[in-house]
Structure 1
Amino acid sequence: MKIIRSKDDLRTLRRSWIFKGERVAVVPTMGALHAGHLSLVEVARQHADRVIVTIFVNPKQFNNPDDLDRYPRTEEQDAKKLAPYAVDALYVPTPDQIYPDGFATNVHVSGLTEDLEGAHRPGHFDGVATVVAKLFLQTRADVACFGEKDYQQMLLVRRLSEDLDIETEVLGCPTIREEDGLAMSSRNVRLSAQDRAIAPALKAELDRAATAIRRGADKRVVLNSAKAQIERAGFDTVEYLELRDAADLSPVTALDRPARLLVAATLGGVRLIDNIPV
């Protein structure tokens, strides 16, 4: 696995693959890799001859500076975790390779970004869209793998690639969970032992709510009850718990098309998100 830090070196390597007619996949990450990330690498390998994993802690997608400071940086451990997966290149760009002096462009995707995560994290999705556009153009990947845990982000990236005619197909990959149901996330390491024991209640309530909605129960009653149960389990607060259209995240009043139940809640000061299909 080559470790690359400059976009020029990455392009040189990429050109050699293009010359051979090889298909390339990219897995964009911010590091602190866990089994969820590694599952994306496995999917990428199934869809391409060459795989690039990127690690870049993107300051533009953190609306809270303290959250940015606390985000784990574990490049050496991450490289060791990737070693068994036949990754061809680990791209770890320095900040100037993504945002050079004078950088003045911001990418905004309308519609998908104003609600849910967008409402609670102002500017977050502009940061995601901007850095992903840069990474897609720098890697020139044929396919990119994104986890469905960040469902709104996955839809945004897919829309971005389609709207800007970037020839990178965006694949959504299933959420990888701990044995007790908690969605894997780099943030989970910040949970205390007590909070870690409480955290699985989030997925459990999603499952109960989805079952009730499928059986025809009143959506508002079900969601209000689920919010109360999550907070009763020990969560600080539930920021949102919504049933939305699976394709465009528009509000759903009747379960007459594929939908997604999405939640964000804080536990011990750690913000957790999850979602399941309904």
Structure 2
Amino acid sequence: MRIRISKVAALAAAIVLTGAASVAGSGAAVAGTHAPAKPTVVLVHGAFADSASWSGVIERLQKRGYPVVAAANPLRGLSSDAAYVRTVINSVPGPIVLAGHSYGGAVMTNAAAGDPDVKALVYIAAFAPDKGESALELSNKFPGSTLGDTLSAVPLGDGTSDLSIRQDLFRQQFAADVSKKQATLMAVTQRPIRDAALGEGSGEPAWKKIPSWFLVAGADKNIPVAAQRWMADRAGSRATVEIRKASHAVGVSNPSPVADLIVRAATAR
């Protein structure tokens, strides 16, 4: 009787062990084929906008499983803005894809320099300055910008001024392909930029060592289209997408192709 019990116990133990091994093997197989974690996308808005301007892009990235951080660009000075954005990306664990719009491109160009965690730069109708270049210089390098005629200035008392786009001219200048209702809200909630920020020269550019992707807004009245194409070519853009009728607010009017390009950069090998 004892022998029979021992045999039954041994058989049961063998079954348990076999089942455990099967489960362990299954787990190992799953672990072996588990997809790597997606990089975090850090978004940097530009002048005359705020982080909400990325809302449509954020929604699409999150649906694809990407963690997203939208940095609140101070718009006070290129070096100080870059220092702030650098603290944001330093707080994010793991690999990062940086995307910048307009002046935000200049900021991320400086913020990402020397950071091994930043795997890709995505310029959305954005400045990609070389060392010593300013946003103002690049916007005047080619004809086509009508921004200067639409600006209003508020003196800050230190010899500099805050610049905003006049509300009555905002849609035609910044967001011509955005609905009137939405453009009106954008005009009221726009964040001003300190004029000194637009004139400050860039530091060593991150795009010389980090791969870049560019989206060109074909009907942009802020940054000349020729300037956007020229900066993309100079940076050795991995891929340049041009949306022919897009305004400067291309992330608002065309969030899907913007998100698609960011995902393209995030999945590049």
TM range (shorter): under 0.3
- The TM-score normalised by the length of structure 1 is 0.27
Structure showing greater radius of gyration is: 2
TM-score by length of 2: 0.28
